[in-house]
Amino acid sequence: MVVKPGKIWFFLLCLSLAALSNNMYAAKSNQSIYEDPYDIAAGGASLTRASQEGVLFANPALMPFGNKFFRWFGSQFSIIAAKDSVDFVRSLASGSNTSSSESSSEEEKSAERDEFIDDIFTTPIHFGTATAISFISSHFGVGVVSRFEPDIKGTRFNDTGIPAVRAQADGYGAGVVSYAQKLTRWFSVGATGKYIYKAEPDIQIDFADQSKIDEIRSDPQALVNEVTPGQGFGLDAGALIFLQGRTVDYRLALKADDLGNTKFTKSQDPFRQTFHAGLGLTFHNSIDSLHLSLDFRDVTGAYEESIVMRSYAGAKLILRNYIGIAAGFYQGYPSYGIRLDLVLVKVGLTYYGREMGSFIGDDRRDIYIAYFGFGI
């Protein structure tokens, strides 16, 4: 038989395959919509100790415990990229796009197409940015944050056995106001009111739809157009027991996020009410400290995630008040980082592992965050 394929019924059959829903972890679950990169380096365990604007989201009850009335006023910018996506981000920055280059012969075009398809299924694209501006005192805090973090990856066999390309993004903008008060020398409470602008696109692109994949890869921001963003108001409340000693401190934190569920306009899924508990132990002298912490989030299992996905643990070592080294386990995956707190400038690097699949070990990303802050 002379093999002359071509009537593209198979292609059309592929295109007729609609999006399949799967329970994946990328959209907001027990995690906060914004986490300080240094807190992420310490395994994301921030209920008992958080950095800068991270306090407003991690636990506002942390604010009254500190030596200064003014704790932080400034901004921070983060660039986020998965290890595999560095080359891709570089090509975006330089304005080049490997998939759009012109080729003369059919063979070259075919080879390029094959390379493009292989690339989709082997190299995830995960990158983004986060920006925060905040003012935090010992009782009051206000902040504005935004984060956009798209993720595009093909899977040879999805949950039902067929190839799929999944494009999703964490897209949030938020304005928050926090207030906290010590009720006793060792006990504080705090609350954060928040306005959130939320876009969590999560689409499954047919693996045969090369033009769509190319479009999304060339301009991941276009992913937001796949959903209608929603807006909503929410409230978090936290409490902290802080037993301070001469060289050792003990901390116990309890927090409720999204009290009564944070509902959004435009039919976006609500953020579910969750309860968290954290333990902290700090060894310190006058200028150095080591903080060990363990958070267990979503105690009641509102998001129906596994115990590992709700667990965060880590250590933060602060040397001479300006060098920070952190390491931990973020949802079981290793994390580490370093931060320098200079007079007006803060810079740092964080690495952490993140699960993007439907179970632990399914689809891991190794993510790096470089950040730069300016403030006092």
Q: What is the binding site for other proteins (CB under 8 A)? A: 1-14, 16-18, 20-22, 43, 110, 113-114, 117, 121, 155-163, 207-208, 210, 247, 283, 285, 288, 290, 292, 306-308, 311, 314-315, 317, 325, 327-329, 331-336, 353, 355, 358-362, 364
* Token reading at 15: 């295109």
Four-point Cα dihedral 312, 318, 323, 328, nearest 10: -20
**Backbone phi, then psi, for 223, in 5-degree steps?**
-55, -35
Q: What is the helix (H) or strand (E) element at residue 173, kind and residue range? A: strand 164-184
- Looking at the Cβ atoms of 69 and 157, the one nearer to other proteins is 157
Q: For 272, which DSSP code?
A: P
How far is it, in rounded angstroms, from Cα 174 to Cα 56?
11
How far is it, in rounded angstroms, from Cα 285 to Cα 248?
9
Residue 133 C-beta: closest distance to other proteins, Å: 31
- Looking at the Cβ atoms of 219 and 362, the one nearer to other proteins is 362
- Looking at the Cβ atoms of 12 and 183, the one nearer to other proteins is 12
* Token reading at 367: 């993510």
Residue 234 C-beta: closest distance to other proteins, Å: 29
Residue 78 C-beta: closest distance to other proteins, Å: 20
- Looking at the Cβ atoms of 16 and 67, the one nearer to other proteins is 16
- Looking at the Cβ atoms of 146 and 214, the one nearer to other proteins is 214
Residue 44 C-beta: closest distance to other proteins, Å: 12
- 329-346 core/surface letters (b: 16 or more CB in 10 A; e: else): bbbbbebbbbbebeeeeb
Residue 301 C-beta: closest distance to other proteins, Å: 15
